[in-house]
């Protein structure tokens, strides 16, 4: 009849389940409350930030129009007798306000008399809204593209240039129309405002921001969404200056915490009906709550184990018969008896007798485990290659072996070319995948008795056993094979990528009697190989010839 479950195990299991259940219940309640609180806090925060950006945009537009009004009252424009003086004035203003892409002054008929950098001087803009509406009163137009002006202005990015128009009439001293002062503000100014206000929060919380026009088209946001129409229920009924937040389902089908504010203008500037919208994925918003829940559960598991152990100890009071087996075990270890007596009772009595019989086997397994731990300490966790500790242990042995065989050691210092851009663009996961593939390829280049170790980052060291005769030629063959092997494209999840490899080599004891000095010489050769164009191998002897 098989031994029954012990009382101690029942008590310990009951306590562990009880503590675990209470922890799960408490964690769930706290997680739900925290999720609700975080959602409300982030929602209000995004609404406040959207309001701050709308207010900043309105204030900036109002200040730009105020500057133009002040400029329009100058006598230089009210009596436009010297176009060169007007141009100097406009150039100075553009220099002080970089967001002004173009500013010009026309005669009453709409011909440009003077402009910043002389762009469009002599041309007629009489049919353009910036002139037609500006000759009547202050005009502030919505975001638009200006194809002709974009061709005449510098555009390093190559993207479509967008502008906001501001224009106003300039009256002569006799009250007649002296001309129209017209200005194109670069829409990149709005992006600069967004970055100055929102970048710190956006980087920390992964929040996306949009500027929506009066017609619900996206004026500012992710590049692929510019120009698309955005329809959200939260936009309906939004009043000027009002901020609100809600959980919205966006056109991509995902739900986001969404905060938004409608422009209300500033002072006598009525605003253009822009709406700033901020959004954050619910998964990202709830991440702190999920992290808190996981922490509670982990602590709960730890407490469950602690209380289970406590119950296990207390319940030992009710399992005194086990003391008979313990006493017998002590006598066995002292050599007083040959075996533990067979006692009938709970499962623990039977299990203890079996444990003693397997004592030697357990000790052997422990010794094996220690060997595994030592192996882990000498190998790189990412690539599985030997690390610096293993290299320091291997080099004296390899040095002694080469000395007995009258051979040489070739130290090849390797550094990957083009690894950092891949790691920066595609992320650390892609970089780790690439390093593991590089490690596997380097192993394939080794021969019996050779070793390759990862020194850190994208730096590796190959230690080669080469014959005394033609040592450098043998080492170069391995180096060229490594360069060719690493030069093959590597297929990652993001697609195929290609990198190169630069190698600096030195020979012991040919180049120096001290192994540490040979390693330094290999490092110097690597540095020179990178300076000479990378993706090549350069040895110390070749470096000396090159320098001489």
**The predicted structure's pLDDT at residue 33:** 62
Residues with catalytic function: 458
Question: In terms of CATH, what superfamily is 190-282?
Answer: PAS domain (3.30.450.20)
User: Which residue, among 371, 329, 370, 369, has the nearest Cα to 349 in the 3D structure?
Assistant: 329
Q: Quick check: 434 and 419 in contact, CB under 8 A?
A: yes
Q: What does pTM read for this prediction? A: 0.46
Query: Rounded to an integer, what distance in angstroms lies between the CA atom of residue 451 and that of residue 464?
Result: 7
**The predicted structure's pLDDT at residue 361:** 41
**The predicted structure's pLDDT at residue 337:** 60
User: Which residue, among 321, 302, 304, has the nearest Cα to 312 in the 3D structure?
Assistant: 304
Beta-carbon contacts of 483 under 8 Å, excluding residues fewer than 6 positions away, are 500, 501, 503, 535, 536, 537
**The predicted structure's pLDDT at residue 458:** 86
- Residues of the chain whose pLDDT is less than 70? 1-8, 10-12, 14, 16, 19, 23-24, 26-35, 144-161, 189, 191-192, 194-205, 286, 288-290, 292-293, 297, 304, 307-308, 311-312, 314-377, 544-548
Query: Rounded to an integer, what distance in angstroms lies between the CA atom of residue 215 and that of residue 107?
Result: 34
Q: Which fold has domain 376-547?
A: Alpha-Beta Plaits (3.30.70)
16: tokens are 């562990």
- Could you tell me the residue ranges of all domains in the chain? 190-282, 318-371, 376-547
Q: Quick check: 275 and 238 in contact, CB under 8 A?
A: yes
Query: Which secondary-structure segment (H or E) carries 164?
Result: strand 162-171
The 10 Å CB-count burial string (b at 16+, else e) for 54-84 is bbbbbebbbebbebbeebbeeeebeebeebe
Query: Rounded to an integer, what distance in angstroms lies between the CA atom of residue 130 and that of residue 183?
Result: 8
**The predicted structure's pLDDT at residue 350:** 58
**The predicted structure's pLDDT at residue 352:** 55
**The predicted structure's pLDDT at residue 359:** 47
Alpha helices in 278-321 (DSSP H): 282-285, 287-315
Do 376-547 and 190-282 fall under one CATH topology? no
Query: Rounded to an integer, what distance in angstroms lies between the CA atom of residue 522 and that of residue 54?
Result: 59
The 10 Å CB-count burial string (b at 16+, else e) for 460-479 is bbbbbbbeeeebbebbbebb
């Amino acid at each position: 009849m098989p031994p029954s479950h012990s009382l101690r195990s029942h008590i310990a299991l009951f306590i562990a389940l009880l503590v675990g259940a209470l922890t799960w219940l408490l964690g769930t309640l706290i997680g739900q409350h925290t999720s609700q609180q975080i959602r409300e806090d982030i929602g209000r925060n995004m609404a406040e930030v959207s309001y701050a950006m709308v207010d900043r945009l309105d204030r900036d537009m109002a200040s730009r129009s105020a500057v133009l009004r002040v400029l329009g009252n100058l006598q230089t424009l009210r009596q436009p007798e010297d176009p060169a003086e007007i141009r100097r004035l406009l150039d100075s203003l553009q220099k002080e306000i970089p967001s002004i892409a173009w500013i010009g002054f026309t005669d009453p008929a709409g011909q440009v008399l003077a402009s910043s950098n002389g762009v469009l001087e002599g041309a007629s803009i009489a049919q353009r809204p910036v002139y037609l509406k500006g000759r009547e009163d202050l005009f502030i137009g919505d975001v638009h593209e200006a194809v002709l002006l974009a061709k005449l202005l510098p555009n390093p990015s190559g993207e479509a240039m967008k502008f906001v128009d501001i224009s106003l009439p300039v009256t002569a001293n006799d009250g007649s129309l002296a001309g129209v002062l017209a200005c194109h503000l670069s829409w990149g100014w709005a992006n600069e405002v967004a970055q100055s206000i929102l970048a710190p929060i956006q980087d920390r919380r992964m929040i996306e921001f949009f500027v929506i026009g009066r017609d619900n088209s996206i004026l500012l946001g992710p590049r692929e969404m510019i120009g698309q129409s955005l329809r959200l229920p939260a936009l309906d009924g939004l009043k000027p200056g009002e901020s609100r937040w809600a959980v919205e389902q966006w056109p991509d089908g995902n739900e986001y915490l969404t905060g938004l504010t409608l422009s209300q203008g500033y002072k006598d500037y009525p605003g253009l009906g822009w709406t700033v919208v901020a959004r954050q994925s619910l998964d990202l918003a709830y991440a702190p709550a999920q992290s808190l829940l996981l922490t509670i559960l982990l602590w709960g598991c730890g407490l469950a184990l602690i209380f289970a152990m406590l119950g296990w100890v207390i319940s030992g009071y009710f399992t005194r018969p086990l003391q008979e087996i313990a006493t017998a075990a002590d006598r066995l270890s002292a050599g007083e008896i040959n075996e533990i007596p067979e006692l009938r009772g709970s499962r623990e009595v039977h299990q203890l007798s079996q444990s003693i019989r397997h004592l030697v086997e357990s000790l052997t397994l422990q010794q094996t485990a220690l060997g595994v731990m030592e192996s882990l300490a000498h190998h790189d966790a990412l690539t599985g290659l030997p690390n610096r500790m293993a290299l320091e242990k291997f080099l004296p042995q390899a040095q002694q072996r080469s000395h007995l065989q009258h051979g040489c050691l070739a130290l090849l210092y390797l550094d990957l070319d083009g690894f950092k851009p891949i790691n920066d663009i595609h992320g650390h996961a892609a970089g780790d995948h690439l390093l593991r593939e590089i490690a596997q390829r380097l192993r394939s280049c080794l021969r019996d008795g050779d070793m390759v170790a990862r020194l850190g980052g994208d730096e590796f060291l190959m230690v080669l056993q080469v014959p005394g005769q033609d040592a450098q030629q043998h080492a170069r063959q391995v180096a060229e094979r490594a360069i060719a092997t690493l030069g093959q494209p590597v297929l990652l999840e993001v697609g195929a990528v290609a990198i190169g490899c630069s190698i600096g080599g030195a020979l012991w004891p040919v180049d120096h009697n001290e192994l540490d000095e040979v390693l330094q010489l290999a490092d110097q050769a690597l540095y020179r190989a990178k300076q000479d164009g990378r993706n090549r191998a350069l040895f110390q002897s070749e470096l000396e010839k090159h320098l001489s």
